[in-house]
């Protein structure tokens, strides 16, 4: 007697389908969730698996993948109460054989059993191959350089209007820093580059303010079963990382939920301040910004990259708070100095520093306590930390191209007046920086693709 495994959390539907099979002389085993279903499939080896698409915790797609990675034999039928083509495609990509709308009838089941397996149905391997097209090198590319909210339009076309997203490639390994609206374009570029090959990448989040995660629902690689995305970040201020990322994709805001995305997405909350991503050692530090917000320093074989997209100088905020609660300004200054020296230590000798420089000094006076940087304090921090190259970043939505040009000029003037050495640039969408490889010796910054070279 053939055996079917039914994986369905809706008990009524499960019993109904079990009855259909029993009437046609099948042995039936049942599981209420994906984890139990995978266990039973691997131990009982049924000849057919019928699985719901939207199971709690482990989705039907993950069930397909887990079974198919180990077993070639059972035919897998996935059922769902929705009709999107993207779901049907995802099921096939995950190793499923058929996709049916509920309710499942015996006619559909019998047809599926009779149909021979698709010859093309080979699981795409999960391991990403190392990229051959890139020479051994470390490269940074800016996909979003803005803070707070995307501001596309004619006045921001030079530096770009997308919110925070930076790609770092180290010998073909991909690390993405933050998932602001810039990650959408990055996703399109990655899919074009990899084609049918799987993409393996790590997304490192500094914090969950919306300008740093809002692009994730539009990140194309997450919609392809061939890809694996590891998301790393610290716990949010009021909820866990996974909860926050899922929340922005809940029904009132977005039509596709995070758990239904066909790509394998693993969200891991960081607990330590030092860890590794592939061969890159990463050091983290919490910054002066509302909520839980980390800065990262990536130690690549070609030099270190410090990324602090949201950060406010310590002293003005301390003084403001001191004035409010009666602390002596002396004490406030001393406390701020201690914190600042720890930050200098963290940044010491960075090859690249990408840092929140949202406001001019004048504007910052009106914005103390908003959690963002002020130009001259950013420059002096970089000088004191002996950084080699500074990128002004997280541009204010109110700053048009002209204003950012002026801020850049001012920053360079400050460096000149200091008599010390520091290269300064304003981060610009599409700009690439090579820490090694064919472009590094010629010019550290290569602007793409519109030829609006500024340096």
* Beta carbons of 209 and 180 less than 8 angstroms apart: no
Cα separation of 398 and 304, whole Å?
31
In the bound state, the residue with its beta carbon closest to Zn ion is: 209
Exposure b/e, 97-112, CB count within 10 A at least 16 = b: bbbbeeebeeeebeeb
Query: What residues make contact with Zn ion under the rule CB under 5 A?
Result: 147, 209, 211, 310
CB of 290 to Zn ion, least distance (A): 7
Nearer to Zn ion, 87 or 211 (CB): 211
Nearer to Zn ion, 211 or 260 (CB): 211
CB of 213 to Zn ion, least distance (A): 10
CB of 145 to Zn ion, least distance (A): 11
Nearer to Zn ion, 209 or 447 (CB): 209
CB of 272 to Zn ion, least distance (A): 22
* Beta carbons of 93 and 66 less than 8 angstroms apart: no
Nearer to Zn ion, 396 or 425 (CB): 396
CB of 148 to Zn ion, least distance (A): 6
Cα separation of 371 and 289, whole Å?
4
Nearer to Zn ion, 187 or 371 (CB): 371
| Strand 352-356 relative to strand 389-393, pairing | parallel
Nearer to Zn ion, 98 or 356 (CB): 356
Instruction: Look at phi and psi of residue 138 and say left if phi exceeds 0, alpha if psi is from -120 to 50, else beta.
Output: beta
CB of 280 to Zn ion, least distance (A): 23
């Amino acid at each position: 007697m053939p055996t079917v495994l039914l994986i369905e959390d809706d008990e009524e539907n499960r019993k109904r389908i079990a009855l259909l099979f029993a009437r046609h002389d099948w042995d039936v085993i049942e599981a209420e969730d994906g984890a139990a279903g995978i266990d039973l499939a691997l131990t009982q080896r049924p000849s057919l698996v019928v699985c719901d698409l939207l199971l709690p915790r482990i989705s039907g797609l993950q069930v397909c993948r887990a079974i198919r990675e180990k077993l070639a034999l059972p035919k897998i039928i996935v059922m769902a109460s929705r009709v999107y083509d993207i779901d049907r495609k995802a099921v096939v990509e995950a190793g499923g054989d058929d996709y049916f709308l509920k309710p499942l009838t015996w006619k559909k089941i019998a047809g599926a059993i009779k149909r021979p397996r698709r010859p093309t149905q080979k699981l795409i391997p999960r391991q990403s191959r190392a990229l051959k097209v890139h020479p051994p090198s470390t490269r940074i590319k800016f996909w979003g350089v803005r803070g707070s909210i995307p501001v596309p339009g004619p006045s921001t076309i030079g530096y770009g209007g997308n919110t925070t997203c930076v790609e770092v490639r180290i010998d073909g390994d991909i690390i993405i820093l933050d998932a602001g609206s810039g990650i959408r374009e990055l996703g399109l570029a990655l899919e074009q580059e990899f084609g049918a090959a799987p993409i393996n990448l790590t997304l490192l989040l500094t914090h969950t303010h919306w300008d740093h995660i809002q692009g994730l629902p539009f990140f194309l690689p997450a919609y392809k079963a061939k890809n694996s995305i590891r998301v790393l970040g610290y716990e949010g201020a009021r909820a866990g990382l996974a909860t926050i990322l899922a929340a922005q994709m809940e029904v009132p805001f977005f039509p596709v939920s995070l758990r239904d995305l066909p790509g394998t997405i693993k969200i891991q909350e960081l607990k330590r301040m030092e860890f590794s991503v592939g061969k890159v050692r990463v050091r983290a530090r919490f910054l002066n910004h509302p909520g839980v917000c980390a800065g990262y320093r990536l130690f690549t074989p070609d030099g270190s990259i410090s990324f602090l997209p949201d950060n406010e100088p310590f002293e003005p905020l301390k003084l403001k708070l001191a004035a409010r609660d009666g602390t002596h300004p002396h004490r406030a200054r001393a406390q701020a100095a201690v914190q600042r020296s720890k930050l200098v230590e963290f940044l010491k000798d960075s090859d690249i520093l990408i840092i929140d420089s949202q406001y001019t000094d004048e504007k910052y006076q009106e914005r103390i306590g908003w959690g963002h940087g002020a130009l001259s304090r950013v420059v002096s921090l970089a000088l004191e930390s002996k950084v080699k190259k500074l990128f002004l970043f997280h541009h204010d939505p109110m700053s048009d191209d002209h204003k950012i040009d002026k801020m850049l000029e001012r920053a360079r003037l400050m460096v000149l007046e200091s008599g010390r050495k520091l290269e300064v640039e304003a981060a610009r969408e599409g700009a690439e920086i090579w820490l090694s490889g064919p472009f590094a010796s010629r010019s550290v910054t290569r602007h793409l693709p519109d030829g609006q070279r500024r340096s």
